Structure 1
Amino acid sequence: MNAELQIKKGRKYDQVIAGARAVFMREGFEGASVDEIARDAGVSKATLYSYFPDKQHLFLEVLKTECAAQSEVDVLFEQKGLSVEEKLAVICKKLITFLLSDFGQDMFRVCVAESKRFPDLGTAFYASGPKHWGEKISSFLCSDKARAVLDVEDPDLAADQLAQLCRTDLMLKVMFGIEQDPKEEEIDRIVDEAVRTFLARYVRAA
């Protein structure tokens, strides 16, 4: 499958994406049918196929669109006036919130379940989510402002370490339905510990 197919965006594009998102989240990738997606989107199958040649490309477009909309990662890294410690805290808070969101959880489940049969799905999820976050964090760690405070030799590894500090047991509890509505204080505690641990490893010696 050519995942890089150029998708046209006509008058009913958003309508198709919204319908497809609802069905994929409800039925999973394999359980979702093109007929059902067309019904939820309120369009004909012919209209749907005029945008997307198959279900795989439609899912990939939903994935990329939702990751871009919900992670807010580009806007996040453009925030001004924050200290390095404050920026790290904001990064961790946004990342944890994204990981715990219904969308983040649902997409993770679907992509893990289908990645063996449809490797492009797992690749697209990784590229749109974890990889994109990692690249942005690494770029921040390479900035003059961060380098004035942190001693980071391998920014890609350090970015991954920061992200992993955010993937605590809480993520598994939410995924398995053990905890459905994490308290803000619990998330803030994880953020605080992640930043403190990261700084303990990388802050420059006085």
Structure 2
Amino acid sequence: MSEARAQSEDELDEKTQAIVAAARKTFLSLGFDAASMDQIALTAGVSKRTVYNRFSSKEELFGAAIMETCKNLLPVNVDDIEASLPPEEVVRKLATQFLQGILEPEALSLRRIAAFEAERKPEIGKAYLEHGSYWMAKQCAPILARLAARGAYRIEDAEQAIWQLGALLTEPLHTQALMGDAPDDLSAAIDAQVNQAVTTFKKIYGA
């Protein structure tokens, strides 16, 4: 197991952060195939050996870039949010930050790269799922479980519930944005979709 994978749930060291940032920038500007470990090392200002000491392959680097993107979708003060807001507002706040994040241009571009490459390189699709969608579900499911424990929702399987909430949140806005047809007033569209998703989720799982 590489150093980067072992550190996946921890803060990355300074050089690793630089490598992941450089990889993200290179993937976004060149695509997966054209991006090289040499170019990533050059952009990060480190040696190629340093890159390989932390990441065994370009696919692993792509996964790390996806995970760093996902980390930005969750607030750093989740505990404070849970303690200070009613359960429905907790879900609304987290849902809004999530939807705003996945509709950022760079997040959309990384999703397009993964979708384009997945058919001929299944490991790219798997990396996106493992470090993106699956990772997010595992981070967010405990939040729903805690809200259910407070009596706000009736949830037996928190991970399944988080997938259903994600489906309610993302469509059709995410697909519209991926296809280059996002509404002109994206902020208003996000608010409307979050409101609808939270209301529907409460109808399904509300106590």
Task: Please give the range of the TM-score, normalised by the shorter of the 2 chains.
Answer: 0.7 to 0.9
TM-score scaled to structure 2, two decimals?
A: 0.80
TM-score scaled to structure 1, two decimals?
A: 0.81
Letter in 2 for 1:119: P
Structure 2 unaligned segments of length 5 or more: list them: none
Whether contact under 8 Å (2:153, 2:206) holds in the other structure is yes
State the 1:105 CA deviation. 0.9
- Counterpart among 71, 74, 82 of residue 72 in structure 1: 74
- Counterpart among 47, 54, 59 of residue 57 in structure 2: 54
Whether contact under 8 Å (1:64, 1:124) holds in the other structure is no
Whether contact under 8 Å (1:151, 1:202) holds in the other structure is yes
Q: Does 1:101 align with 2:104?
A: yes
Residues 30-59 of structure 1: CA distance to partner in whole angstroms, max 9, x if unpaired? Answer: 121233323333344344344434322322
> Alignment identity in percent?
28
Q: 1:182 to 1:6 in 2, by over 3 A?
A: farther
Letter in 2 for 1:154: D
Whether contact under 8 Å (2:62, 2:127) holds in the other structure is no
Deviates more, 1:56-65 or 1:7-16: 7-16
Query: Aligned residue for 2:32?
Result: 29
Whether contact under 8 Å (1:73, 1:133) holds in the other structure is no
Q: Hey, what's the Cα distance between the residues in 2 that align with 1:40 and 1:137?
A: 33
Q: 1:201 to 1:132 in 2, by over 3 A?
A: same
Q: CA RMSD in A?
A: 2.7
Q: Which has the larger radius of gyration?
A: 1
Whether contact under 8 Å (2:87, 2:152) holds in the other structure is yes
Query: Aligned residue for 1:5?
Result: 2
SS, match of residue 143 in structure 1: helix
Q: 1:15 to 1:182 in 2, by over 3 A?
A: same
Letter in 2 for 1:122: G
Q: 1:200 to 1:58 in 2, by over 3 A?
A: closer
- In the TM superposition, what are the counterparts of 1:42-191 in structure 2 within 5 Å? 42-68=45-71, 70-72=72-74, 75-76=77-78, 78-79=80-81, 80-143=83-146, 147-179=150-182, 182-191=185-194
Deviates more, 1:7-16 or 1:81-90: 7-16
Q: Hey, what's the Cα distance between the residues in 2 that align with 1:175 and 1:163?
A: 16
Q: Which runs of 4+ in 1 moved over 4 A?
A: 8-11, 144-147
Letter in 1 for 2:22: G
Letter in 1 for 2:196: E
State the 1:95 CA deviation. 1.6
State the 1:61 CA deviation. 2.5
Q: Hey, what's the Cα distance between the residues in 2 that align with 1:161 and 1:137?
A: 12
Deviates more, 1:90-99 or 1:14-23: 14-23
Q: Hey, what's the Cα distance between the residues in 2 that align with 1:86 and 1:57?
A: 36
Structure 1 unaligned segments of length 5 or more: list them: none
